[in-house]
Structure 1
Amino acid sequence: MGEADEGGIARKWWIKFKDESVFAKYTPFFVCLASGSLNCDTFMHFISQDVHFLKAFALAYELAEECADDEEDKLAIRKLRKRVKQKLKTLDSLVREWGFELPEEIITDDATVKCTDFLLSTASGKVEGEKVLGKIETPFEKIKVAAYTLSAISPCMRLFEVIAKEIQTLLNPDDGSHLYKKWIDYYCSQSFQESALQTEELLDKLSVLLTGEELEVIKKLYYKAIKLHVNFFAAQPVKQQTTVPLSWVKDPVEGHLTLFCDFDWTCTAFDSSSILAELAIVTAQKSDPDQSEGKLTRMSSADLRNTWDVLSTKYTEEYEQCIESIMSSEAVAEFEYEGLCEALKQLAYFEKNENSRVVQSGVLKGLNLEDIKRASQHLIFQDGCRRSAFASGILSETYKSCIIHFREHTLSENSSAPLMLSGDLNAFRVHSNELVYEESISTGEIVNKLESPLEKLQAFNDILKDHSNDEQNLTVYIGGSPGDLLCLLEADIGIVIGSSSSLRRLGDHFGVSFVPLFSSLVERQKELVDGSSYKWKRLPGTLYTVSSWAEIHAFILGQ
Structure 2
Amino acid sequence: MSTLPPPAEGGFCARAWARTERLQRAVVQHPFNAALADGSLPRERFAFYIVQDARYLVGFAQALSAAASRADDAADAAFLAGAAQGALLEERQLHAGYVHEFGLTEAEIEGVETSPTCLGYTSYLRACALGEPYPVLLAALLPCFWVYQHVGSTILESTGDDPEHPYSTWIRTYADEEFADSVRAARELTDRAAAASTPEVRERMLAAFTTATEYEWMFWDSAWRREPWPTAEWR
TM interval, shorter chain, is 0.7 to 0.9
Q: 1:18 aligns with which of 17, 21, 33?
A: 21
Alignment of 1:148 with 2:136, yes or no, is yes
Give the secondary structure class of the aligned counterpart of 1:216.
helix
Q: Which amino acid aligns with 1:104?
A: I
1:168 matched residue in structure 2: 156
Alignment of 1:182 with 2:173, yes or no, is no
- Deviation of 1:238 (Å): 4.7
Q: TM-score, normalised by structure 2?
A: 0.82
- Pair 19,92 (structure 1): closer, same or farther in 2 beyond 3 Å: closer
Q: Which amino acid aligns with 2:188?
A: E
More strand by share: 1
1:215 matched residue in structure 2: 202
Q: Which amino acid aligns with 2:17?
A: W
Q: Which amino acid aligns with 2:35?
A: C
Q: What aligned pairs does 1:476-487 form with structure 2 within 5 A after superposition?
A: none
Contact 2:128 2:140 in 1 (8 A): yes
- Deviation of 1:22 (Å): 1.5
1:113 matched residue in structure 2: 119
CA distance, structure 1, for counterparts of residue 9 and residue 39 of structure 2: 41
CA distance, structure 2, for counterparts of residue 70 and residue 187 of structure 1: 27
CA distance, structure 1, for counterparts of residue 156 and residue 19 of structure 2: 24
More helix by share: 2
CA distance, structure 2, for counterparts of residue 8 and residue 180 of structure 1: 35
1:54 matched residue in structure 2: 57
How big is the alpha-carbon RMSD for the aligned residues of Structure 1 and Structure 2? Answer: 2.2
* Cα shift readout 1:168-213 (whole Å, capped 9, x = no counterpart): 122143x443211211111101222122221111111222221111
1:125 matched residue in structure 2: 131
Q: What aligned pairs does 1:11-410 form with structure 2 within 5 A after superposition?
A: 11-87=14-90, 90-95=93-98, 99-101=101-103, 103-105=108-110, 106-126=112-132, 145-173=133-161, 175-238=162-225
- Pair 82,122 (structure 1): closer, same or farther in 2 beyond 3 Å: same
Q: Which stretches in structure 2 are left out of the alignment for 5+ residues? A: 1-7, 227-235
Give the secondary structure class of the aligned counterpart of 2:113.
coil
Alignment of 1:7 with 2:10, yes or no, is yes
Relative contact order higher in (CA < 8 Å, ≥ 6 apart): 2
Contact 2:135 2:201 in 1 (8 A): no
Contact 1:148 1:221 in 2 (8 A): yes
Contact 2:142 2:187 in 1 (8 A): yes
Contact 2:51 2:109 in 1 (8 A): no
CA distance, structure 2, for counterparts of residue 101 and residue 150 of structure 1: 37
Contact 2:47 2:102 in 1 (8 A): yes
Give the secondary structure class of the aligned counterpart of 1:69.
coil
- Deviation of 1:92 (Å): 4.6
CA distance, structure 2, for counterparts of residue 101 and residue 161 of structure 1: 28
The structure with the larger Rg is 1
Which is further off, 186-195 or 40-49? Answer: 186-195
CA distance, structure 2, for counterparts of residue 45 and residue 100 of structure 1: 11
Q: Which stretches in structure 1 are left out of the alignment for 5+ residues? A: 127-144, 240-559
Contact 1:24 1:234 in 2 (8 A): no
* Cα shift readout 1:463-506 (whole Å, capped 9, x = no counterpart): xxxxxxxxxxxxxxxxxxxxxxxxxxxxxxxxxxxxxxxxxxxx
CA distance, structure 2, for counterparts of residue 234 and residue 101 of structure 1: 24
- Deviation of 1:17 (Å): 1.2
CA distance, structure 2, for counterparts of residue 172 and residue 200 of structure 1: 26
CA distance, structure 2, for counterparts of residue 151 and residue 223 of structure 1: 9
* Cα shift readout 1:40-78 (whole Å, capped 9, x = no counterpart): 011010011111221111101111111112222212222
Figure out how many residues of one structure are paired with residues of the other and give that number. 215
Percent identical across equivalent pairs?
25
- Deviation of 1:14 (Å): 1.3
- Deviation of 1:85 (Å): 2.4
1:359 matched residue in structure 2: none
CA distance, structure 1, for counterparts of residue 219 and residue 136 of structure 2: 21
